[in-house]
């Protein structure tokens, strides 16, 4: 049996995708490979593979105990440049943290990135390409799935919306890089639609643009609702009752909310960022800017064929990033890494 220890504090902060990725991966491994994988969480015991999900300082210190950690796998959910627009830190704190982050990644034996666009960035930081593997995120169909029409109608009514309401839904932490400003402006420009944003200030006053967004959060346009940080069960309701899932982010990683929306059969509209082209190109409505988003939202209210075609694209994309597909990829990856560590250890023993 292969032993894997997960180091993570991702589930301590509500409303962030890293926590969802971590919890879903552990659950998937435990359910699909109970007889071949032994998973432990935050244990300082000897193991064949240690998978680092977050970059906590105690986890960094643990990397110096090579024989106990086995093969060290780092999960790259962000790089220095993607943190811009997420957190407001004093410049000196930012410099220190960015250096620490890069050093943490360099202490890993292998890195897993959630987006292939991270690979050249990591290479520029001095990490060899052969030490990096791209494995996309996935979403469980048991948690995120498309409701029947009758349930969609009843949930929509229970949430206080009329059957005829055209609902635009967005999700994520409220911060600069998420494009919340454009989402709010779109609500103002389209009073005939209903806009909902799920998410809050996961990092409190450290969230980028906190004071500005706190004012907007407390005084939104009449046709806009901020739900705050909500449970994943409630998120499923909103994905199902929305007519369009819109994420206007200026900078992204590989947001779980996009895959969640695909799984629930929602039409997905995104700002047309280069990073999406290598992972979900053709699966979503690409918008250059807010004006483009405004036009396409209104086009969909008049063009049911366009609407239906992108619902079909979402359902097809959901199959590509399903738990079934990704479980084998992860299992094979862990076996491969364990074999590399065994060969490395054998060579050292012979020496």
The C-alpha atoms of residue 250 and residue 288 are separated, in whole angstroms, by 10
At residue 71, the pLDDT reads 96
The C-alpha atoms of residue 173 and residue 198 are separated, in whole angstroms, by 8
Residue 60 has pLDDT above 70, yes or no: yes
pLDDT digits (tens, 9 = 90+) for 193-231: 999 999 988 667 767 778 888 999 999 999 999 999 999
What residue ranges do the domains of the chain occupy?
2-138+322-342, 149-320
pLDDT digits (tens, 9 = 90+) for 136-173: 989 888 899 999 999 999 999 999 999 999 999 999 98
Q: Tokens 């699966």 — which residue?
A: 283
Compute CA distances 289 → 185, 197, 244, whole Å: 12, 19, 16
Reported as type and span, the H/E element at residue 246 is strand 244-247
- DSSP-derived secondary structure letter, 44: -
The C-alpha atoms of residue 89 and residue 120 are separated, in whole angstroms, by 26
70-94 burial by CB neighbour count: b if 16+ within 10 A, else e?
A: bbbbbbbbebeebbebbbbeeeeee
What lies within 8 Å, CB to CB, of 182 at 6+ separation is 248, 289, 290, 293
The C-alpha atoms of residue 25 and residue 158 are separated, in whole angstroms, by 32
- DSSP-derived secondary structure letter, 75: E
Evaluate whether 76 touches 108 at the Cβ level (below 8 Å): no
What lies within 8 Å, CB to CB, of 29 at 6+ separation is 4, 37, 39, 327, 330, 331
pLDDT digits (tens, 9 = 90+) for 260-269: 999 999 999 9
Mean pLDDT score of the chain: 90
CATH superfamily of 2-138+322-342: Glycogen Phosphorylase B; (3.40.50.2000)
- The fold of the 149-320 domain, in CATH, is Rossmann fold (3.40.50)
Q: Average pLDDT for residues 83-96, to the nearest whole number? A: 74
At residue 275, the pLDDT reads 83
């Amino acid at each position: 049996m292969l032993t894997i220890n997960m180091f993570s504090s991702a589930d301590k902060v509500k409303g962030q995708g890293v926590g969802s990725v971590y919890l879903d991966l552990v659950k998937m491994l435990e359910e699909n490979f109970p007889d071949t994988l032994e998973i432990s969480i935050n244990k300082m015991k000897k193991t064949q593979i240690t998978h680092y999900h977050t970059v906590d300082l105690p986890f960094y210190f643990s990397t110096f105990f090579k024989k106990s950690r086995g093969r060290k796998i780092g999960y790259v959910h962000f790089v220095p440049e993607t943190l811009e627009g997420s957190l407001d830190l004093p410049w000196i704190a930012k410099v220190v943290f960015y250096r620490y982050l890069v050093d943490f990644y360099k202490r890993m034996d292998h890195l897993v990135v959630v987006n292939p666009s991270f690979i050249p960035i990591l290479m520029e930081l001095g990490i060899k390409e052969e030490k990096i593997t791209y494995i996309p995120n996935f979403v469980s169909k048991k948690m995120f799935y498309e409701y029947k029409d009758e349930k969609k109608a009843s949930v929509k009514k229970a949430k206080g919306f009329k059957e005829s309401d055209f609902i635009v839904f967005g999700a994520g932490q409220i911060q600069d890089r998420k494009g919340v400003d454009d989402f709010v402006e779109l609500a103002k420009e389209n009073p005939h639609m209903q806009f909902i944003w799920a998410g809050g200030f996961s990092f409190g006053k450290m969230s980028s643009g906190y004071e500005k967004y706190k004012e907007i959060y407390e005084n939104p346009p009449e046709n806009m609702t901020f739900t705050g940080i909500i449970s994943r069960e409630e998120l499923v309701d909103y994905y199902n009752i929305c007519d369009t899932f819109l994420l206007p982010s200026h900078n992204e990683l590989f947001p779980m909310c996009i895959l969640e929306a695909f799984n629930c059969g929602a039409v997905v509209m995104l700002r047309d960022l280069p990073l999406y082209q290598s992972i979900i190109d053709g699966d979503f409505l690409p918008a250059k800017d807010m004006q483009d988003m405004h036009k396409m939202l209104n086009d969909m209210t008049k063009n049911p064929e366009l609407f239906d075609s992108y619902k079909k694209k979402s359902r097809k994309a959901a199959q590509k990033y399903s738990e079934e597909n990704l479980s084998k990829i992860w299992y094979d990856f862990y076996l491969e890494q364990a074999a590399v560590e065994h060969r490395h250890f054998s060579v050292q023993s012979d020496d």
